[in-house]
Amino acid sequence: MACYFKPLMEKLQNYIDGKLIAPKSNEYFDNYDPASGKVYSLIPDSSIEDVALATAAAKRAFPIWSKMSIQERSDIMLKIASLIEERSEELAAAESRDNGKPLKLASTVDIPRAQANFHFYGTGILHWASESHSMGDLALNYTLREPIGVAGCISPWNLPLYLFSWKIAPALATGNTVVAKPSEVTPYTAYLLSKICIDAGLPDGVLNIVHGTGPKAGAAIIEHDDIPMISFTGGTTTGEWIARAAAPKFKKLSLELGGKNPNIIFADCDFEEMMKTTLRSSFANQGQICLCGSRILVERSIYDRFRTEFVSRVKDLKVGHPSEQVNLGAVVSKPHMEKILSYIEIAKTEGGTVLCGGERVKVAGHEEGYYLAPTVIEGLDQSCRTNQEEIFGPVVTIAPFDSEEEALEMANSTKYGLASSVWTSDLKRAHRVAKDIHAGICWVNCWLLRDLRTPFGGVKSSGVGREGGFEAFDFFTEPKNVCIRY
């Protein structure tokens, strides 16, 4: 725990052309510890000049990196993975402090996944194959998949190193160079990754990390003419702006955006297993995961039993400082805490009943921290704002349904379509419902059970494109058909 409480007040630096450097303006802004509400480090306020410097470095490095053998690239990526594993304790402590999530969660989920991302794509590139198509005695067609150039990778604050590395790793594995921006709310583990890349011997300019705000540094990456592809995870409104800005430049886009995910619970479910998982899928990472099941739909015959048991267990969840043995830590920032609280008030005006939670929690010794009680609301129509808009916090709604058809109608009633969960012992029903839910992912009798080989992404307003598996390799490369006549 000493690492967590170590006073830092350090000025973070950009990682450009293999070096840690200050922003051109030499200006910084505050980085807050959500658990205490206090500033503990300073973030570079980078601008278009810093992005231009990073992009120029990435362009210079591209011919070298892209022509390096697959085995050489793989070896460097596996070295990065190894160093993440070696420094996992330091990285987990930094992630917990920067984000407010429980240290146990950062230690068991976030940092192991970041290590796995580099390892998976570092080894996956060795086994990736292209297609060939024979035209009998006439000709042979084969597909070359070639790196494109400089990739712009912009990641969110909820799973900082987890999602940052998920974008960077496949881009690098396929021979591209990268200009990346972590969220300005949670920049610290990206800064530590810079140091790891230096120690791993990553060639200068292959990965460049520019810190700063979305309107300045982020927009400069999106609009730069020498960055032909953008991978972005974040809010749907920002995604809409990126799509508009990138379209006239014909950039490749991968946009993983918001979610308002249904958790459909049928009466024939394994009740205890469902209950344990639903607690987790509702409030993991303080509900700040795009995959959390924020709309819980329960078959009417077990609705009363579910409500009583669920609310009782939610009230038993412990909210506290992330370094302690708690279920929920702090939400990521004061503005985000205020946004969540405002939605709880909206739910009340819409006729919802708060069954538990709904208020800020004062943690002894950390009274200025951004803590919220896990909140359960019932009595709301699916068309109301609370059920239609992404809150992204420890807030769920519960509602009954009477038939499979009604459950699907309720589940599909939002503009989002990222993830869903279905709880049933009926195999035929599981297949039917999974097929008819408008979402990119459907978990049956589980939640957040991820295989890195599978495609990840949403439909409707939840995004464009797919991440994960070889789909990521496809995104970061351009296919070329070669036809050879015999």
pLDDT 10s digits, 214-225: 999 999 999 999
- Asked if residue 249 and residue 193 are part of one domain, the reply reads yes
**CA nearest to 98, candidates 3, 219, 217, 210:** 3
Catalytic residues: 256, 290
Q: Hey, CA dihedral for 91, 95, 101, 106, is it positive or negative?
A: negative
- Quick one: 253 and 295 in the same domain? no
Distance from C-alpha of 316 to C-alpha of 192, rounded to nearest angstrom: 36
Question: How far apart are the C-alpha atoms of 307 and 355, rounded to whole Å?
Answer: 9
| Cα–Cα–Cα angle for 364, 367, 369, rounded to 5 degrees | 115
Number of domains in the chain: 2
Residue 7 scores a pLDDT above 70: no
Condensed to tens digits (0 to 9), the pLDDT of residues 287-318 reads: 999 999 999 999 999 999 999 999 999 999 99
Mean pLDDT of the chain: 97
Question: Could you tell me if 427 and 478 lie in one domain?
Answer: no
Residue 226: both structure tokens together? 């020498």
How far is Cα of residue 38 from the mean position of the Cα atoms in its chain? 25
pLDDT at 9: 81
**Residues 268 and 404 reside in one and the same domain:** yes
Q: How far apart are CA 302 and CA 145, in angstroms?
A: 52
Provide the pLDDT for residue 5.
43
- pLDDT given for residue 1 in this prediction: 41
Taking the C-alpha atoms of residue 38 and residue 333, their distance in angstroms, rounded to an integer, is: 11
236 lies in the same domain as 376: no
Per DSSP, the residues of 422-444 read: EE-S-HHHHHHHHHHS-SS--EE
Please list, in sequence order, all residues whose beta carbon lies within 8 angstroms of the beta carbon of residue 476, skipping any fewer than 6 positions away: 147, 148, 151, 170, 171, 174, 176, 229
Same domain, 222 and 131: yes
Do 449 and 471 fall into the same domain?
Answer: no
Give the residue-averaged pLDDT of 173-193.
Answer: 98
Does the structure show a pLDDT above 90 at 253? yes
Say what the pTM is. 0.96
Looking at residues 219-247, what average pLDDT do you find?
97
For residue 303, give the H/E element and its range: helix 303-316
Q: What is the per-residue pLDDT for 6?
A: 56
**pLDDT computed for residue 373 by the predictor:** 98
Q: Tell me if residue 218 falls in helix, strand or coil.
A: helix
DSSP 448: S
Residue 224, burial from CB neighbour count under 10 angstroms (0-12, 13-18, 19+): buried
In this structure, what are the phi and psi dihedrals at residue 337, rounded to the nearest 5 degrees? -60, -45
Average pLDDT (199-209) is 98
The average pLDDT across 443-472 equals 96
Domain shared by 357 and 439, yes or no: yes
Rounded percentage of the chain residues whose pLDDT exceeds 90: 98
Whichever domain contains 214, its CATH number is 3.40.605.10
Check whether residue 335 and residue 300 sit in a common domain.
Answer: yes
Q: Which residues touch 308 (CB under 8 Å, ≥6 apart)?
A: none
Distance CA 298, CA 310 (A): 12
Q: Are residues 476 and 394 in the same domain?
A: no
Query: What digits encode the pLDDT tens for the residues 51-100?
Result: 999 999 999 999 999 999 999 999 999 999 999 999 999 999 999 999 99
Q: Which domain holds residue 177?
A: 2-257+462-485
Place of tokens 């790891």: 196
For residues 399 and 301, give the distance between their C-alpha atoms in angstroms, rounded to a whole number. 12
Confidence band for 2, pLDDT divided at 50, 70 and 90: very low
Residues 368 and 438 both lie in one domain: yes
Question: What value does the mean pLDDT take over residues 447-475?
Answer: 96
Q: What CATH number should be reported for the domain holding residue 431?
A: 3.40.309.10
Give pLDDT tens digits for 340-367.
Answer: 999 999 999 999 999 999 999 999 999 9
Residues 287 and 347 in one domain: yes
Counting residues of the chain whose pLDDT is more than 70, the rounded percentage is 98
C-alpha closest to that of 168 among 405, 464, 160, 330: 160
> Are 469 and 452 within 8 A, CB to CB?
yes
pLDDT of residue 148: 98
* pLDDT one-digit tens code per residue, 398-436: 999 999 999 999 999 999 999 999 999 999 999 999 999
Q: Looking at residue 109, what is its pLDDT?
A: 97
User: 328 or 6: whose pLDDT is higher?
Assistant: 328
Average pLDDT over residues 241-270: 97
